[in-house]
Structure 1
Amino acid sequence: MAMGERGMQLHDDAPRLAMPDRSQAVAAMQIDRAGWAGRAFARYDRAAVMRIARAVAEAAHQAAAHYAEWAVRETGMGVVEHKTLKNQLSAHPLVDFYEDLDLVSPKVDPDRKMVEIPKPAGVILALTPATNPISTLYYKALLAILSRNAVIFSPHPLARACCADAAARLEAAAVAAGAPSGLIQCIANPSVPLVQALMASDKVQVILATGGGPMVRAAYSSGNPAIGVGPGNAPVYIDDSADPGTAAAWIVDSKSFDNSVLCTNESVLLVHAARRQAFERALRAAGAHLCSDAEVAQLRAYLFPDGHLNTAAVGKSAVWIAQQAGFRVVPSIRVLVAPITLAGIDEPLSKEKLCPVLAMLTVDDFARGTGVAQMILRMSGAGHSAAFHGKDAQRALDFASALSVYRVVVNAPCSQGAAGFATHLAPSFMIGTGYFGRSSVGENIGPQHLVHWTRLAWNKDASVPFADFSAVRLSYESPDAGSRPAPAPAAPAGVDRDMLRQLILQELRGLTGGQK
């Protein structure tokens, strides 16, 4: 044995230094960078925050069609035209909706003798799905900016290229508008072990989890605060007071929108026996294909071959799905309607489908329809969404009261309605499912969920005076901001340079064990 070989053998027996995984090392540096950016951004005043938000929204709007095409090409899901619209709705309209929501300035309430100071979370880890990759990224990036947080995206592997490019574009727009570098970042090579490590990092303050059930549950069990959303499976009740033509048009438009990848889309139609024929005619006129018994069996076998959804069908067109299932429909068909005779665990077509396939069940009366709707939600979709079509206000109220959901869309397309684009609900790509759905939030998630408030509360005894805040500076803007020239983008208005320098020195001392 040569000396070199003997030496190698001896070294093989010696303890080895574990080398860190490169992707995890890069991600750790990204989190550190986001931490610096978040701490700096927390010092910005509201004018600077809104200026950056507007700049990012404009960059998002300008690239909406570009990323819609890219997302469809990369994931194979959805419709370019519809994804373009979703991307656009997640830009300027989102900022417009929160224009009057001030999450930056302290609030003084003399009547309650209280001062409230907003505190951003810090670093947000945002998981994005393959079904709505860019619109979700746009939405979460703007939520982070409006609440003065830094955000790191972990995209679904099927959409990592378009998400990485979009995040870089939004980051560039933010920095050009005066944001600190590192405010918007994206993990280049996401994997399950890497995401799990990031979710457990003590440098992540909150997780925004949009994705499959296992990933959302992992976020909640990570040890870090998390806001997750559950699956949808919206039952839709067609009351006998509804206009069949109008209801059918809304439903087909909604179910075919972006090939039904939104979790807010309609899942099971509940129709009165007396109105079934009229409603079926209306569905056909709106562009739906009513499946025969044989075609329903073929659909069931294709979509749920082992009782679980065939993910190959997610986001595909109705024509494509029919062909894969073994039957043909005319090219103009937008939705496949599958009549079923029962709902529940024994009928997989009553589960969430994420493709333009609707189950339809006949019910004898309102009470039966409400009961079946609740049965569907107990199986899947609790806390999420439902829909009601009709003119009877009492029945609409009774329907909503009986169901374990937190949003019921009335006389509107459910896909866009529950997401806040066809109703006055908050525009959102995170639909909180609340306690019914084992989530911490039951409303549409907004920037207000990423800020907590420190409250200074004075003695309520009338003999104890409240402080005079008339001469107290209530924003983070420097007192002489109005008299000095506008700063360069790298150091925007609202940043206390001396304070930032002290923070940097403090962090460096911590890293070097207190050495100066």
Structure 2
Amino acid sequence: MPIQLHDDSPRLAIPDRAESIARMKIDRATWAVRAFSRYDRAAVMKIARAVAEAAHQAAQTYAEWAVRETGMGVVEHKKLKNELSAHPLVDFYEGMDLVNPRVDPARKMVEIPKPAGVVLALTPATNPVSTLYYKTLLAVLSRSAVIFSPHPMAKACCNDAAVRLEAAAVAAGAPAGLIQCIEEPSVPLVQALMASPKVQVILATGGSPMVRAAYASGNPAIGVGPGNAPVYVDPDTDQNAAAKRIVDSKSFDNSVLCTNESVLISLDQDRSRLERALRANGAHICNEAEVAKLRSWLFPEGHLNTAAVGKSAVWIAAQAGFRVVPSTRILIAPVEVVGLDEPLSKEKLAPVLAWATVGTFERATGMAQMILRMSGAGHSAAFHGEDPQKAMDFASALPVYRVVVNAPCSQGAAGFATHLAPSFMIGTGYAGRSSVGENIGPQHLVHWTRLAWNSDAAVPMGDFTDVRAPFDGPSAPPPAAPRPVTLAPAPAPANDAGMDRDMLRQLILQELRELTRGQS
């Protein structure tokens, strides 16, 4: 009889072998976390740098592999995304200390960082290895362990990448089991993993059903919703510059990033200028007959034809029944209305951009609101213009948490063409039914224990100058004032993180009881 991975009802039966392998991965990750949580910051950053270097070195290999395995995207663009998810990601968080306790005498408070623990990370077929790189480094920087459940279409490249990064981490001193991947993912197995009591948090990137399943699992989850970014181009801006940014963004990796522009909105008075600029930058403006063919092929019965995801504009045009010049980078479909009655105004994950024109800026803002009410709430939007008041009004009116200004939205909202945090998890916040509204980073995998002293000035806090932090090795030097003082390191424990053998034996027995509880 198949064994259940968790106690909740209804139970999902999964094959014994798959269940056993998954259970062993969780156990390895659990023990890795216990060891890794006692590493000092210098050791953590050494491991993070080693992982980033291994990721960087294999960026081209996995870009080619991902395109070959999934049939989606552009190799050179996937290589760039892989590279941006390596050293630049570590560089961005270099100044964020998620390891050392902080002492704040003014507030009479000590803050101790606590890693999330075992992280279950879902990765999509659209950005498989770059997402794996990114989530691995988030886990390492937060002293957590990560187990990946890749999309079945990208399982081979993800498994190989996870093995490579794990080897680099272990070579740099990390405990074994820090980075693992499910070799043969299936829906029942993933659902069972998500409900495991030994998984502390789920990082859910993928389709809406899987994200909803993560939230319904009973475990804490950080999920992200779909994108459908409206982009407004104001008449007062450089039309060629705006067109170039939009075409560059929409064609990047054949538009598989959820941050790409979905519907272009401009004013009637500016249509001819913007159309010339878009054509000059490689866009094909569809005529009425081509729009009808494109709509019919791309949204049969109103639902996205997934065969289009990550494919080139030239290929999509051919499938839809019309021809474009080989240099075409994106297809632009002029539409009369947006909303539920116009499927082209939905998220497409392909280099196809709907285009609507209106009479006033106020109507453009209202149209952007309508697009986001249909899909993409909480995600992203883009604004091209020189008037700060219009930018403020546009951003204030829309239910999104990122508005990219005068930059390509695909890269800008993901933090690669702006100073937003670099991320492959775009939090959609309350508007998008997500728990986080910002770009997800390692800080979201750390909670803090706070020792808070009596606020009465007559009650002393005590001197923490010689108090030691529970590290097994040398800690990073304390930061300069005015940042809080960093505690000094503790000497290495004599045995097993300070536990005596009896305590360790009891802990193992307790773990075994938890693992066997509810099995059948």
Q: TM-score, normalised by structure 2?
A: 0.91
Q: Is 2:471 the counterpart of 1:466? A: no
Among residues 407, 412, 418, which one is paired with 1:417 in the alignment? 412
Give the alignment's Cα RMSD to 1 decimal: 1.8
Match of 2:159 among 153, 160, 164: 164
Which amino acid in structure 2 is aligned with residue 189 of structure 1? E
The residue number in structure 2 matching 1:220 is 215
Measured against aligned partners, the alpha-carbon deviations of 1:299-330 in whole angstroms (never above 9, x if no partner) come to 00011001111000000000000000000000
Alignment partner of 1:35 is 2:30: yes
Structure 1 segments, 4+ long, off by >6 Å, are 479-482
The 1:494–1:506 alpha-carbon spacing in structure 2 relative to 1, beyond 3 Å, is farther
Q: How far does the alpha carbon of each residue in 1:148-193 deviate from its partner, in whole angstroms, 9 at most, with x for none? A: 0000000000000000000000000000000000000000000000
Equivalent residues in 2 for 1:71-470, closer than 5 Å: 71-470=66-465
Q: How far apart are the structure 2 equivalents of 1:434 and 1:67?
A: 31
Report if the CA contact (8 A) 2:41-2:476 is conserved: no
- Quote how far apart the aligned CAs of 1:242 are: 1.4
Name the counterpart of 2:496. Answer: 499
- 1:271/1:114 Cα in 2 relative to 1: closer, same or farther (>3 Å)? same
Cα 1:248–1:479 shift into 2, 3 Å: closer
Rounded to whole Å, the distance in 2 between the matches of 1:276 and 1:19 is 57
Alpha-carbon distance between aligned partners in 1 of 2:28 and 2:430, rounded to the nearest angstrom:
35
SS of the equivalent of 2:367 reads: helix
> CA–CA distance in 1 between the matches of 2:294 and 2:383?
26
Q: Which amino acid aligns with 1:386?
A: A
**CA deviation vs aligned residue, 1:183-213 (integer Å, no higher than 9, x gap):** 0000000000000000000000000000000
Using the alignment, how far apart are the partners of 2:412 and 2:458 within structure 1? 51
1:406 aligns to what SS in structure 2?
A: strand
Q: 1:338 to 1:30 in 2, by over 3 A?
A: same
Q: Which has the larger radius of gyration?
A: 1
Cα distance 1:71–1:512, how it changes in 2: closer, same or farther (>3 A)?
A: closer
Answer whether contact 1:164 1:188 (CA < 8 A) is retained. yes
Q: Give the structure 2 partner of residue 8 of structure 1.
A: none
How far 1:362 moved relative to its partner?
0.5
Counterpart residue number, 2:54: 59
Q: 1:285 to 1:200 in 2, by over 3 A?
A: same
Residue identity opposite 2:383 in structure 1 = F
* Secondary structure, aligned partner of 1:44: coil
Q: Is the 8 A contact 1:105 1:475 kept in 2?
A: no
Change (3 A) 1:350 1:20: closer
Structure 1 CA distance for aligned equivalents of residues 307 and 409 of structure 2 = 24
Offset of residue 511 of structure 1: 5.1
Alignment of structure 1 residues 471-482 onto 2, 5 Å = 471-474=466-469, 476-477=471-472
Distance 1:440 1:495 in 2: 38
For residues 260-301 of structure 1, give each alpha carbon's deviation from its aligned partner in whole angstroms, at most 9, with x where no partner exists.
000000000001100000000000000000000000000000
Preserved CA contact (<8 Å) 2:101 2:111: yes
Structure 1 position 466, deviation (Å): 1.1
- Deviations 1:407-441 (CA, angstroms, capped at 9, x unpaired): 00000000000000000000000000000000000
Code of the aligned partner of 1:345: L
* C-alpha separation in 1, matches of 2:240 and 2:476: 60
Counterpart CA distance in 1 for 2:79 and 2:491 is 35
Q: Distance in 2 between matches of 1:448 and 1:504?
A: 30
Q: Take 1:353 and 1:480, find their aligned partners in 2: how far apart are those partners?
A: 48
> 1:356 Cα shift?
0.2
Give the TM-score of the pair, scaled to structure 1. Answer: 0.92
The verdict on how the C-alpha distance between 1:45 and 1:19 changes in structure 2, with shifts beyond 3 A counting, is closer
Is 1:233–1:352's contact at 8 Å kept on the other side of the alignment?
yes
**Letter of the 1:282 counterpart:** A
Could you tell me whether the CA contact under 8 Å between 2:40 and 2:475 is conserved in 1?
no
Give the Cα separation in 2 of the matches to 1:246 and 1:171. 43
Encode CA deviations 1:200-258: one digit per residue, 9 max, x unaligned. Answer: 00000000000000000000000000000000000001112111100000000000000
Contact 1:339 1:359 in 2 (8 A): yes
Task: Check whether the contact 1:254–1:413 (CA below 8 A) recurs between aligned residues.
Answer: yes
> 1:507, CA displacement in angstroms?
3.2
Does structure 1 retain, via aligned residues, the 8 Å contact 2:284–2:331?
A: yes
The one-letter code matched in structure 2 to 1:299 is: L
Contact 2:40 2:100 in 1 (8 A): yes
2:42–2:474: 8 Å Cα contact kept in structure 1?
Answer: no
Gaps of 5+ in 1: 1-17, 483-492
* Cα distance in 2 for residues equivalent to 1:46 and 1:192: 37
> For the residues of structure 2 that align with 1:45 and 1:478, how far apart are their CA atoms?
6
Identity over aligned pairs, percent: 76
Report the CA distance shift for 1:41/1:334 in structure 2 as closer, same or farther (over 3 A).
same
